[in-house]
């Protein structure tokens, strides 16, 4: 009898093996600015970017996708954030209805052969009344001419792309209309400009994107008008992001247990102990998994739950990372320590769009709409 046939590892286990192997070795370098392209591609080959994509435009297994980004974020928040960028960009392509994007690009994207991100913070904030749209599009033969700039978009490079949205410049329109499209970084008229140094996320290849008379062919349009597609994908977009916060939280709890044998006798006087945080994290996971079963639920009540869950993930990540530092003491204050890196990563969980303040604004607005008159 020959050797037993090797069964493929379940996706999340395969992702965890990459995270705790080659990714863990590079986490410090990534924090200092190295872009982990090979790891990003290996994660794609393991299935981290395809679990949430069902056949056609149907939803896949969102909970699995969130588990994958959490497993990565537990080790390296910057790479975990880029896993979300890649997952959500794939979601845009899947929902686009464009044959070129769905049939040609999506298979390469979903397996990590091609990489890309999302520049949707500005549109999300614009829909929430926090800022105005920064990209403008004018209809031209066969496509759109786009101008404007986005201050920061991650997981980019010369051969990358991002899902973005522009206000349509049409003086005859009676209501604002937007077009969502794939911005290819190598298109004429696109310039990637360096961002200032960040306190974390330095290895995420985050660039300022400037578009000057950039032509977007109709084949690269994700949605026009954009609002119906945004309404369909917004809950999935935010749910997928929860993996980042939950993973950073788990990493912080793990680090607390690591110092328990040496410091438990005094750490027991701290609040936010690892067992209490783990119980809270497990309860949050149960909420995320329940919500992840119906990402296209269009009800306002469902969306409020999603926003609240995402806010809870931010708050828990902040508390866990802070407490982890208090547990570790000076050893966690070393620049090379994952404990202090995670404090900075947790700050990004809380400020990346939708930031806690943005989530609370939306929850307040939608809750007021839901209240009986």
C-beta separation of 117 from 153 below 8 A: yes
Instruction: Return the half-sphere exposure (C-beta side, CA atoms, 13 A cut-off) of residue 49.
Output: 35
**Least distance in angstroms from the C-beta of 306 to ligand FAD:** 17
Identity of the residue, 187 or 263, whose beta carbon is nearer to ligand FAD in the bound complex? 187
Beta bridge pairs of residue 223: 180
Range in contact with ligand FAD (rule: CB under 6 A) among 34-42, 47-55, 139-147, 149-157: 149-157
Per-position x/- string for 282-321, each x denoting binding to ligand FAD as judged by CB under 6 A, each - no binding: ----------------------------------------
Out of 39, 355, 359, 363, the residue judged to bind ligand FAD by CB under 6 A: 355
Count the neighbouring beta carbons within 10 Å of the beta carbon of residue 117. 29
Q: What is the DSSP letter of 133?
A: -
Closest among 153, 121, 154, 150 to 36, alpha carbons compared: 154
346 binds ligand FAD (CB under 6 A): no
Range in contact with ligand FAD (rule: CB under 6 A) among 115-123, 248-256, 266-274, 331-339: 115-123
Q: Are strands 135-140 and 161-168 parallel, antiparallel or unpaired?
A: parallel
Range in contact with ligand FAD (rule: CB under 6 A) among 27-35, 117-125, 179-187, 239-247: 117-125
126 binds ligand FAD (CB under 6 A): no
Range in contact with ligand FAD (rule: CB under 6 A) among 226-234, 310-318, 322-330, 349-357: 349-357
Out of 26, 34, 41, 353, the residue judged to bind ligand FAD by CB under 6 A: 353
Identity of the residue, 245 or 274, whose beta carbon is nearer to ligand FAD in the bound complex? 245
Q: Are strands 190-194 and 116-118 parallel, antiparallel or unpaired?
A: unpaired
C-beta separation of 271 from 254 below 8 A: no
Q: Which of residues 67-96 bind ligand FAD (CB under 6 A)?
A: 85
Tokens 């062919």, residue located: 217
Q: Which of residues 185-214 bind ligand FAD (CB under 6 A)?
A: 198, 201, 206
**Least distance in angstroms from the C-beta of 263 to ligand FAD:** 32
How many chain residues touch ligand FAD (CB under 6 A)? 19
C-beta separation of 346 from 318 below 8 A: yes
Out of 77, 117, 163, 203, the residue judged to bind ligand FAD by CB under 6 A: 117
Identity of the residue, 288 or 355, whose beta carbon is nearer to ligand FAD in the bound complex? 355
C-beta separation of 76 from 243 below 8 A: no
What CA–CA distance (Å, rounded) separates 50 from 48? 6
Output Rg (C-alpha) for the chain, integer angstroms: 21
149 binds ligand FAD (CB under 6 A): no
* Coil vs helix vs strand at 314: helix
**Least distance in angstroms from the C-beta of 76 to ligand FAD:** 14
Q: Are strands 143-153 and 207-217 parallel, antiparallel or unpaired?
A: antiparallel
* Coil vs helix vs strand at 368: helix
Count the neighbouring beta carbons within 10 Å of the beta carbon of residue 80. 29
352 binds ligand FAD (CB under 6 A): yes
Range in contact with ligand FAD (rule: CB under 6 A) among 48-56, 145-153, 170-178, 237-245: 145-153
**Least distance in angstroms from the C-beta of 119 to ligand FAD:** 4
Beta bridge pairs of residue 118: 163
Instruction: Return the half-sphere exposure (C-beta side, CA atoms, 13 A cut-off) of residue 170.
Output: 15
Instruction: Name the site residues for ligand FAD (rule: CB under 6 A).
Output: 85, 117-121, 130-131, 151-154, 198, 201, 206, 351-353, 355
């Amino acid at each position: 009898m020959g050797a037993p046939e090797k069964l493929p590892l379940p996706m999340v286990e395969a992702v965890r093996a990459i995270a705790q192997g080659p990714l863990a070795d590079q986490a410090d370098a990534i924090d200092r600015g190295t872009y982990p392209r090979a790891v990003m591609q290996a994660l794609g080959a393991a299935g981290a970017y395809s679990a949430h994509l069902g056949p056609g435009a149907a939803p896949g297994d969102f909970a699995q996708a969130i588990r994958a980004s959490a497993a990565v974020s537990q080790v390296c928040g910057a790479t975990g954030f880029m896993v979300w960028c890649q997952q959500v960009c794939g979601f845009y392509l899947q929902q686009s209805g464009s044959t070129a994007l769905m049939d040609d690009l999506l298979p390469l994207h979903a397996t990590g052969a091609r990489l890309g991100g999302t520049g949707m913070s500005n549109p999300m904030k614009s829909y929430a009344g926090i800022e105005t749209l920064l990209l403008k599009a004018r209809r031209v033969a066969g496509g759109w001419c786009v101008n404007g700039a986005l201050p920061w978009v991650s997981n980019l490079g010369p051969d990358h792309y991002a899902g973005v949205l522009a206000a349509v410049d049409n003086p005859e329109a009676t209501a604002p209309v937007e077009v969502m499209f794939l911005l290819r970084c190598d298109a004429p008229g696109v310039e990637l400009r360096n961002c200032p140094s960040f306190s974390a996320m330095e290895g995420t290849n985050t660039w300022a994107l400037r578009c000057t008379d950039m032509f977007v062919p109709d084949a690269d349009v994700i949605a026009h008008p954009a609002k119906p597609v945004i309404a369909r994908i917004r809950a999935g977009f935010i749910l997928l992001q929860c993996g980042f916060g939950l993973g950073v939280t788990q990493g912080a709890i793990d680090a607390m247990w690591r110092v328990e044998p040496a410091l438990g006798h005094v750490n027991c006087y701290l609040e936010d102990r690892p067992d209490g945080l783990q119980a809270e994290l497990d309860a949050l996971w149960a909420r995320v998994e329940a919500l992840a079963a119906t990402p296209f639920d269009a009800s306002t009540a469902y969306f409020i739950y999603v926003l609240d869950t995402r806010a809870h993930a931010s708050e828990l990540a902040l508390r866990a990372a802070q407490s982890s530092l208090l547990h570790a003491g000076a050893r966690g204050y070393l620049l090379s320590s994952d404990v202090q890196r995670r404090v900075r990563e947790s700050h990004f969980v809380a400020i990346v769009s939708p930031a806690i303040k943005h989530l609370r604004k939306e929850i307040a607005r939608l809750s007021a709409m839901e209240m009986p008159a």
